[in-house]
Amino acid sequence: MVGQASSPSADTAVRRTTKTTGMIKNTRFAAPLNATRRIFALLWASSPRWAVLGASAILVETVFGLLTLYLIKGLVDAVSAVAVADAASGQVDVAPVLHALLLTASCSLATLLVRAASNYVREAQGLHLADHVNGLIQAHSIRLDLSFFESARYFDTLERARTAGAQRPAQVVSNLLMLVRNALLLAGAVALLGAVNAAVLLILAVALLPALLVRLHFTRRMYDWRRRRTQMEREAAYLDWLVTSDKNAKEIRTGVLGGYFHSQFMRLRQTIRTEQLRIGRRREASESVVATFATAALFGALGYLAFQTAQGRHTMGDLALFLVVFQRVQSVGQEIVQQTSRLYEDNLYLAQLFEYFDIKPSLSEPAQPAPLPAATAMHLRMEQVDFTYPGTQRQVLGGISLEVPPGKIIALVGANGSGKTSLIKLLCRLYDPAAGRITLDGRDIRDFALEDYRRLFSVIFQDFACYAASAGENIRFGDVRLPADSPRIREAAVRAEADGFIQAMPQGYDTRLTRMFDGGAELSHGQWQRIALARAFAANSRVLVLDEPTSALDPAVEFELFRDFRTRIGDRAALIISHRLSTVRQADYIYVLEEGVLREAGTHDELMARQGTYAGLFRMQAHFYRDGPTGAACDVASLNPRAPLSPLAEGQSVR
């Protein structure tokens, strides 16, 4: 099964949590309690007004509910009194009964209205809270380092956070408010029952507590199982995505892989289903035993009080009150057990959400950021930089020293896995070096504000983004501070040789570049690459970083693009990574990277004269464009004086 490539750096980051009082401690009981405390803070932060309204609605609903129960007792007592008076005098006075009936009906109607209002308040409160939590998840995701997103632990943590989800906090609030309401109702009902006969209270406690304990026990077991099964469920979801999405539809069909992926998915789901049902069977069996015992105890109490009423120790109103309250207590008691169980489960999952919130970035911001240098002084320098991804032993870069002077074009050449993309990540401060330093105009880049420093760069990675937005928006994302109608958007498209095909689309720059939504259009990979280049040109950056910028372009477009590349980039510096040495030769200076070490550096002419790795690679590519009867039969290995270096690309992941 194909897994996600990862960097262990985020494994360390995910384990790191704050040491403040807000930290969720990884204990069996403290996590739910801390999560409950923090959800109240979220509830208040999302909307103080709805928080107050929600609490008030619960209180009013409880008061009206208890008052209705008491008025039912008064109604029955009034009916009994009229019946006794009628038997004694032969006259019927229905006024007390009508009065009691009117009060009871009015209170019942008010209870229904208050309950409807309370339900609306809880719904509104839940929506506000869900949107607030979604915003927090996204905002926190933006703050996290790239290292977190390049780890397998990221997918587990994010999956758990999504399982907790924006709806979990809303569920917690709803369950908590309902639990408070039912607890108040139960307390009031118990007080009414105590006034009738205090002996039944002990029976009620004995009937309800075992059910609560059993439910909590199996809630914890299900939670622990789900946490252990996070990766398996994520893998099943990945297989489902493979089979049902459009991204891999062509390859899955031509490779006849659908049946294989489907069988793998069904195998995983069967394992998950079997284990879940095993826990469910044990839970239902245990709850059935406890429920049988509770029902017997409750009906025993009912029989006891009915017998006492028959002996004249209680009024008919007392018995009616007990019958109504007994039914209510039984219903409320079951609801409390279920809500407590759900609240406990929700809090366990919320602890995972807060675990995600407690992950802190490892890249530090300076307390007092230094001002950025003038554009003419944007001289980037790497000085003896070493880099190892945190949590690994293999050094990715060692002793790297290079320069990107203002306005110059610098090229970086090397086999896949040689560390080129890792070097870009360091320059853009997506990671910090393990040793050495990177400077801008002689000052360590860690002295600058992170966002301000990153805005100096326009970076197009090999796996550049293809946004499901309009063509104009895709280009504008190079600098979202640009107005939507900025002329720089089209100017950037012209520079990237993208204006022609954009203008030919149905809505031009307003055409949505996706078939996911109506009215959209799909582009070829080469066209997308030109959109990405336009995005880089649109930014008001000082350094262009282009990682294989022409890999999907046809030769004619590539020729047009690089024929006057210096004019297209203006006065900016450029760092180009490319395997096409026809592009690289235009650079002012070229670095050759091999196994994380710089082997050669110089201009194109200097490197060709040196007859080293670069010269061998250049001649090898140029060979296939030369005329001659022996061109196809040429011994390629003989053209490369460093032939043993070629296996470096094998078995190495691209960073």
3-state DSSP of 165-203: CCHHHHHHHHHHHHHHHHHHHHHHHHHHHHHHCCHHHHH
pLDDT digits (tens, 9 = 90+) for 380-425: 999 999 999 877 888 999 999 999 999 899 999 988 888 888 999 9
Query: What is the C-alpha separation between 134 and 140, in angstroms, rounded?
Result: 10
* Both tokens assigned to 236: 């099943």
Q: Which residue has the higher pLDDT, 348 or 45?
A: 45
Categorize the per-residue pLDDT at 138 as very low, low, confident or very high, splitting at 50, 70 and 90. confident
Q: Which residue has the higher pLDDT, 312 or 42?
A: 42
* Both tokens assigned to 153: 């632990």
Which pLDDT score, from 0 to 100, does residue 83 have? 63
Query: How many contiguous H segments (helices) and E segments (strands) does the chain have?
Result: 23, 10
Q: Is 326 helix (H, G, I), strand (E, B) or coil?
A: helix
Which pLDDT score, from 0 to 100, does residue 624 have? 65
Which pLDDT score, from 0 to 100, does residue 254 have? 63
Which pLDDT score, from 0 to 100, does residue 6 have? 39
Categorize the per-residue pLDDT at 631 as very low, low, confident or very high, splitting at 50, 70 and 90. very low
Rounded to 5°, the CA angle 237-238-239 comes to: 90
- Same topology, domains 373-456+541-611 and 466-540? Answer is yes
CB atoms within 10 A of CB 615: 20
Residue whose pair of structure tokens reads 């002793």 in the numeric block: 399
Q: Does the pLDDT value for residue 566 go beyond 70?
A: yes
pLDDT digits (tens, 9 = 90+) for 460-489: 888 888 888 899 999 998 888 889 889 999
pLDDT digits (tens, 9 = 90+) for 210-235: 776 777 777 778 777 877 777 788 78
Q: Does the pLDDT value for residue 76 go beyond 70?
A: yes
> Which among 246-260, 284-298, 582-596 has the top mean pLDDT?
582-596
Q: Are 9 and 15 in contact (CB under 8 A)?
A: no
Under CATH, which architecture does the 373-456+541-611 domain have?
3-Layer(aba) Sandwich (3.40)
Query: What is the C-alpha separation between 288 and 630, in angstroms, rounded?
Result: 86
Alpha-helix runs per DSSP H in 432-498: 450-454, 471-476, 487-495
Which pLDDT score, from 0 to 100, does residue 286 have? 84
Which pLDDT score, from 0 to 100, does residue 593 have? 92
pTM of the model: 0.65
Cβ neighbours of residue 406 closer than 8 Å, sequence gap 6 or more: 375, 376, 377, 378, 379, 542, 571, 573
* Of 137-151, 437-451, 589-603, the least confident: 137-151
Which pLDDT score, from 0 to 100, does residue 18 have? 36
Report domain extents, the chain.
Answer: 24-197+343-361, 205-313, 373-456+541-611, 466-540
Q: Which residue has the higher pLDDT, 200 or 145?
A: 145
CATH says 466-540 is which class? alpha beta
pLDDT digits (tens, 9 = 90+) for 505-543: 988 999 988 877 777 788 888 888 899 999 999 988 899
Categorize the per-residue pLDDT at 7 as very low, low, confident or very high, splitting at 50, 70 and 90. very low
Over pLDDT 90: what percentage of the chain?
17
> Which among 84-93, 536-545, 559-568 has the top mean pLDDT?
536-545
Mean residue pLDDT across the chain: 77
Categorize the per-residue pLDDT at 580 as very low, low, confident or very high, splitting at 50, 70 and 90. confident
Categorize the per-residue pLDDT at 275 as very low, low, confident or very high, splitting at 50, 70 and 90. confident
Contacts 24+ apart (CB under 8 A), 482-488: 482/538, 488/538
End-to-end CA distance of the chain: 21
Query: What is the C-alpha separation between 209 and 388, in angstroms, rounded?
Result: 56
Which pLDDT score, from 0 to 100, does residue 53 have? 87
Which pLDDT score, from 0 to 100, does residue 643 have? 38
Query: What is the C-alpha separation between 313 and 79, in angstroms, rounded?
Result: 18
